[in-house]
Chain A
């Protein structure tokens, strides 16, 4: 495939960013803040990618509010965050990259709060794979809380966003390893145009969970029958273009299932975040037989495959919780009421009644919950060896709630290879001049399995690194 460089450029910007999610907007804000002329290209007619629809949970060891400390929820540190992330990723992660995420997390959160007006709820939760109460919840209940904050900062600093602008090729001068990236080809409406990136190009184009071909090329068991939580634009063309100009990729087979998506449409709606936020406060997962099937504090891959391995006709499973847990786990009563009306949450005054409503054996469910209550009391879970903490709440007092759940393809841990400066590395191990990547399009931060609530700090922290460094390049 020989493509001739464009004879002329239709537009010229200092920094061109592909993708308008957390990573792209954070990069835009930082680059524009350094005085660069910045454009964000987004192929969809709306901005925000997976970021704006995300669950809004954000892992950081601290924030300006210090909720963990104030609520007496134990210790934490960036180092502990790094260790959890490495362990959760089976140590496939590149430690230097993990460090940047953990170190940047609290600062990035405060930045979005102070400069962008983002708001977080007054609690922190302990989510699967994390050993500390460090997961913050957005007031909006979705990632829009942060995308709006980042957009505000970026726009204030002069960055522009162009929607309906699909990048269809990356222009690199030639095949010489020292040759720089020059710009991109863009399809905008009926027109194809070429846009020059005088200082640098930043790939912030997200993951490829919706790209069945790419997904199956690396992980054949993720057949089309699996639903997907992502927005329709989460496809892998930018990774292909990057590969075509020499970029290296890594760990493309590590693709995560979200264990608790809405079973029929695979949407990750607000109720679907509850099962993820609940384990630190004693939420219980049960199957159609009324039995637990996993340690609820387990990582996502374990929780997902524990369901898939239940066998045929075992879809869905449920999370059971009660009213006393709602606020602590970052939820709200308004959300619960809205979910009840939609039939997403089911309410009952007793566990027996709940079993009836779910159509599962009542005796079994009652026994499961009573056993689990006793485990909390005794501080020991002989069934699944869950580490019990003293803030976990036994399911004694109603009303009780349940939400149906099932795994769906969710997150790509792999992607293009980057350096700690967010520069893209080529297949020979050298930096590709003037090419950066940040967020889900880049691989190596999360290893084999991303811990929930780590993607936002990853995307924002690396977006900031990429934007800052890109603006420093020579035009």
Chain B
């Protein structure tokens, strides 16, 4: 039961802007009053692209008429949730999660001006989400590199809210980056074909051994092969 709740909670959560949580972690006065997009964006038309159909309304509910939250959990590009989050949290924006979301710890979670609650995240859950969303701000991290290309959280993590020690399976990465043989061909060094990180002598290892989404990526090979020259996207700057 609890898990289902999470599941419901997660996807709309991508719509959330979780940046800085207020100390009291409860519905604040500002939320009750409701926040409309137009309080910052006087002209919503100026924010969306030229080809965007006309926007009717001045809050998130208006967006949701067409942009369904990514409920499918499939890997897909350019979903609304990523675009709206990256636009509002650091470094581009500086909004607090609760600018758009309603939250009663352990009881409900939703969007201001939109009916219904999508789950019951605890304070701990929110801390984790906040931390994870925070990594989107690090422009060198893989999570951000994906977000910039419009790849949403659910594209990697699927429907369920990731648990603290969760990981992403290779098959998931390979839906976009695969098949593995093709990927390996792409990264085959010209000088020494057998020094191919995607064709390791350690067998078929997890992508996440080197590629970290929410932290600096690191070439595992270099732990032993200290003289190799190898780079990886998403490494610490």
Contacts and interface: CB of A to CB of B under 8 A. Distances in A.
Interface of A: 45-48, 52-53, 142, 144, 147-148, 163-164, 188-191, 231-232, 264-265, 267, 338, 341-342
Contact of A190 (B164, B203, B206, B209): B164
Interface residues on B, range: 20 to 34
B164 A52 contact: no
B224 A191 contact: no
Contact of B192 (A48, A144, A341): A341
A191 B203 CA distance: 27
B83 to A, nearest CB: 29
Nearest to B226: A265
Contact of B203 (A144, A267, A341): A144
Given A46-B209, A338-B194, A342-B192, A190 B202 contact: no
A232 B201 contact: no
A154 to B, nearest CB: 14
Contacts of B165: 164, 188-191
Nearest to A147: B203
Given A164-B165, A265-B224, 13 more contacts: A45-B208, A46-B206, A47-B203, A144-B203, A147-B203, A189-B166, A190-B164, A190-B165, A231-B224, A232-B224, A265-B225, A267-B225, A338-B194
8 contacts: A46-B203, A53-B201, A142-B201, A144-B203, A264-B227, A265-B227, A338-B192, A341-B191
Contacts of B220: 45-46
A36 B225 CA distance: 39
B202 A46 contact: yes
A53 B165 CA distance: 27
Contacts of B192: 338, 341-342
B115 to A, nearest CB: 35
Interface string B182-215: 0000000001101000000111011011000000
Contacts of A148: 203
A209 B32 CA distance: 62
Interface string B220-234: 100111110000000
B201 A189 contact: no
A46 B165 CA distance: 16
Given A232-B223, A267-B225, A48 B194 contact: no
A48 B203 contact: yes
Contacts of A47: 203
A148 B203 CA distance: 8
Q: Which of A46, A142, A191, A231 has the most CB of B within 10 A?
A: A46
A193 to B, nearest CB: 9
A47 B205 CA distance: 8
A48 to B, nearest CB: 7
B11 to A, nearest CB: 23
B164 A144 contact: no
A131 B57 CA distance: 88
Contact of A267 (B167, B206, B208, B224): B224
Contacts of A48: 202-203
Interface of B: 164-167, 191-192, 194, 201-203, 205-206, 208-209, 220, 223-227
B206 A45 contact: yes
Contacts of B225: 265, 267
A45 B209 contact: yes
A125 B197 CA distance: 32
Contacts of A231: 224
Nearest to A188: B165
Nearest to B195: A342
Nearest to A262: B227
Given A189-B165, A341-B192, A144 B201 contact: yes
Contacts of B201: 52-53, 142, 144
B21 to A, nearest CB: 19
A231 B225 CA distance: 11
Nearest to A190: B164
A271 B105 CA distance: 61
A147 B203 CA distance: 10
Contacts of B208: 45
Nearest to B210: A45
A132 to B, nearest CB: 30
A241 B226 CA distance: 31
Contacts of B167: 164
Nearest to A45: B209
A46 B224 contact: no
A338 B194 CA distance: 9
Contacts of A142: 201
B128 to A, nearest CB: 9
B203 A52 contact: yes
Contacts of A341: 191-192
A46 B205 contact: yes
**9 closest pairs, A vs B, by CB?**
A189-B165, A45-B209, A190-B164, A46-B205, A46-B202, A188-B165, A191-B165, A232-B223, A265-B226
A191 B164 contact: yes
B125 to A, nearest CB: 13
Contacts of A189: 164-166
Contacts of B224: 53, 231-232, 265, 267
A45 B207 CA distance: 10
Which of B194, B220, B224 has the most A CB atoms < 10 Å from its CB? Answer: B224
Contacts of A144: 201-203
B214 to A, nearest CB: 12
B157 to A, nearest CB: 15
B164 A45 contact: no
A350 B144 CA distance: 58
A49 B65 CA distance: 53
B203 to A, nearest CB: 6
